[in-house]
Structure 1
């Protein structure tokens, strides 16, 4: 195991992100796991923060298989080769996009009381998640952020496949990844404790972030 839990990973990631402190970056957290990881960076450097919520578009025969992803401004990314291979209709894709947008808006209202896109224009932005598996939803998020013209975009994660990190370098200005793994299995495999973050926990984290209190 590389990390005790997401808080441990967040402590280690915050050490590496000190180099960007003087840029006064906006921290974008990917709920829900990315919130636990990003808490320490926000607290330690007293940084502004917001949410970035991408959602997977599942395949018709198995919703767990991603054929695309959509983000909070409606931008979406499709795995075109697979979509064509299994003959997914455009009607299905549009229906799924609308369904996932409803869920994104619900979470935005619940977490921050607003559906507006984060104020990334001309800002240094650090996008934080608890790890990367396929990277499809994060790539959609990255492309969505770029559409709003940030000054600089940094991706920060505790763990990810080596090949994915290398592939992502062309899409961001910098990547902070504590551990890139050649034979990657799953994000949770590199944490001793990796439970799902509950909605109740999310409420408490948001309250603490708003008060800039220490999470222990």
Structure 2
């Protein structure tokens, strides 16, 4: 569909997402939210599925001179996703990529540790893991997070988002065991266009959702 679908806010989107997951019979052992915007949704989804909530953290790797243009992303354990198309389209070498990978992986590790407030990382062995974010555009961060779980012994990985463009959703389906997206509009310009309230979530607010 081409029309804009509007969620009131991230909690509304999370509640709708949780309802959809329940209707599909997805029984999660743990819900992982991608900070920061994924935490309000993750809280609602975890409550709907009666599952514990934790985080999976990744950072984009930006192009030289254009940090907002992702040539890849890396998770807190160093698992990386590379945007080969973007990589070919910019002047960048392997040394730059590896340097940035190390820097951003350390930043992701520090963020994950800060959010967990001293708690140990969860154990994924044999578990059904649901990964939640407030939407995907290029999906770079989500892909790195899925790469992180590919290195674990999780039994099943489900990515759940309210909205994302069809091509990104199709690409993510190659990594996750299942992708649930409430809407996949062709007229996609950005995640924020589908929310009435898409205010930035602070670290403090995001961490509060983990504590609830």
Deviation at 1:84, TM superposition (A): 3.6
Deviation at 1:104, TM superposition (A): 1.2
Give secondary structure in 2 for the equivalent of 1:181.
coil
Q: 2:58 aligns with which of 49, 54, 57?
A: 54
RMSD over equivalenced CA pairs, Å = 1.9
Q: How far apart, in 2, do the equivalents of 1:102 and 1:197 lie?
A: 22
Q: How far apart, in 1, do the equivalents of 2:85 and 2:75 lie?
A: 20
Q: How far apart, in 1, do the equivalents of 2:34 and 2:189 lie?
A: 21
Q: Which runs of 5+ in 1 are unaligned?
A: 209-216
Matched ranges for 1:192-203 at <5 A: 192-203=196-207
* Matched residue, 2:31: 27
TM-score normalized with structure 1 length: 0.88
Runs of 4+ in 1 over 4 A off after TM superposition: 19-22, 114-117
Deviation at 1:201, TM superposition (A): 0.9
Contact 2:77 2:148 in 1 (8 A): yes
Q: Indicate how the Cα distance of structure 1 residues 111 and 172 shifts in structure 2: closer, same or farther if over 3 A, else same.
A: same
Give secondary structure in 1 for the equivalent of 2:66.
coil
Contact 1:29 1:128 in 2 (8 A): yes
What is the number of equivalent residue pairs in this alignment? 208
Contact 1:73 1:117 in 2 (8 A): no
Q: Which runs of 5+ in 2 are unaligned?
A: none
Contact 1:51 1:118 in 2 (8 A): no
Matched ranges for 1:12-161 at <5 A: 12-19=16-23, 23-114=27-118, 117-161=121-165
* Matched residue, 1:204: 208
TM-score normalized with structure 2 length: 0.90
